[in-house]
Structure 1
Amino acid sequence: MKHLVLALAIWLGASAVAAVAGPAEEANAVIDQWSVTYSANDRDGLVGLYASDAILLGTTSPVISEGIEAIRKYFQELPGSGRKNTIVERRTIVLSETSVVGTGFYNFARAAENDTPRPSRFTMVLARREGRWMIVHHHSSPLSAVRQ
């Protein structure tokens, strides 16, 4: 009987962990990783978070960056730049077990500008592909001076 109770307790514990880490939590972990990797100025690590066919509408870009090479080019000045990113607020919508939308506000800062925050907004669409969550669409734009 002790073994049955122990086995049941282990199974319930494992089930609870699996229930906590659903699509929203897993996708948000990638968004958090994006911010940390950007702040580490790790261009290759950052680009590795995007799907091969991802689309990026970058904060400062006049063009649509489509695919890994275009996204790598967009972030070409990141290494050694001292740029930082901090997520301020976020909302998440689970579309399915394999697709999630994360949207919110984040601040960019540059060491060259005394780390003055540059408020921006973002939307990321993440998809679970090949066993991992990847960014398939990312839109970022400066936040309007007036926020209601």
Structure 2
Amino acid sequence: MQRHIRTRLVTAAAAVLVAAGTVTAGVSTAEPEHAKTTATRSAKPTKAQIAALFDGWNAALQTGDPDKVADRYAKDAVLLPTLSAEIRTDRAGIVDYFVGFLAKKPVGVKVRTVINVLDENSAIDTGLYEFHLTDPVTGAKSTAEARYTYEYEKRGGKWLIVNHHSSLLPTES
């Protein structure tokens, strides 16, 4: 009798495990504990996901709101801007730069990009881009060709720029 009850319990337990997807044809498919913690960590972002961060930054430029652009930078970010010799190391400085830059109605276009995903929380996007600008007084159109580096970190679940260097492309000699 006890053997019969034990057989029923084992059979019932096996049915529950199969229904839960942890046993298939007598082989356990349950993840070991160390695999669960690895699986729940953030995966490394793709290069396309990092490239899209520039698109979001460029879209923030299109709003004309320097605060929206500054929101894409970390509190301790460093900005070496394209059209200024002043290094910006705080939000106020970053906003100040974008007040003047946004007056030119910039539209950024990447020419060449090289993305290095360092880990699940950091990546670097570097390359060449150009800005199509409009003079706020005369309406004259111009293009600024520049090289850039964006260093991104994922902080509090949000990708932010921690270092942004942009400088005019040197003329060839």
With the shorter chain as reference, the TM-score category is 0.7 to 0.9
The match for 1:42 among 55, 65, 81 is 65
Distance in 2, matches of 1:124 and 1:79, equals 19
The answer on 1:114 being equivalent to 2:137 is: no
The answer on 1:68 being equivalent to 2:91 is: yes
What's the Cα RMSD here?
2.7
Match of residue 15 from structure 1 = none
Structure showing greater relative contact order (alpha-carbon pairs closer than 8 Å, 6 or more residues apart): 1
The normalised TM-score by structure 2 is 0.67
- The amino acid of 1:120's aligned partner reads A
Larger radius of gyration: 2
Distance in 1, matches of 2:46 and 2:57, equals 17
- Once the two structures are TM-superposed, the CA of residue 53 in structure 1 deviates from its matched residue by 0.7
- Once the two structures are TM-superposed, the CA of residue 32 in structure 1 deviates from its matched residue by 1.5
The match for 1:55 among 63, 68, 78 is 78
Q: How do 1:17-28 residues align onto structure 2 when only pairs under 5 Å count?
A: 22-28=45-51
| 1:66 match: secondary structure | coil
Could you report, residue by residue, the CA deviation over 1:10-48 in whole angstroms, capped at 9, with x for unpaired residues? xxxxxxxx98x8253332221121122224423122111
Structure 2: give runs of 5+ residues left out of the alignment.
1-41
Structure 1: give runs of 5+ residues left out of the alignment.
1-17
Distance in 1, matches of 2:89 and 2:103, equals 24
Distance 1:103 1:79, change over 3 A: closer
- Once the two structures are TM-superposed, the CA of residue 79 in structure 1 deviates from its matched residue by 4.4
Identity %: 30
Aligned residues: 133
The match for 1:138 among 164, 169, 173 is 164
Match of residue 8 from structure 1 = none
- Residues 23 and 97 in structure 1, CA contact (< 8 A), matched pair in contact too: no
- Residues 87 and 106 in structure 1, CA contact (< 8 A), matched pair in contact too: yes
Moved over 6 A (4+): none
- Residues 39 and 85 in structure 1, CA contact (< 8 A), matched pair in contact too: no
| 2:100 match: secondary structure | coil
Distance 1:100 1:26, change over 3 A: same
The normalised TM-score by structure 1 is 0.77
Distance in 1, matches of 2:111 and 2:65, equals 21
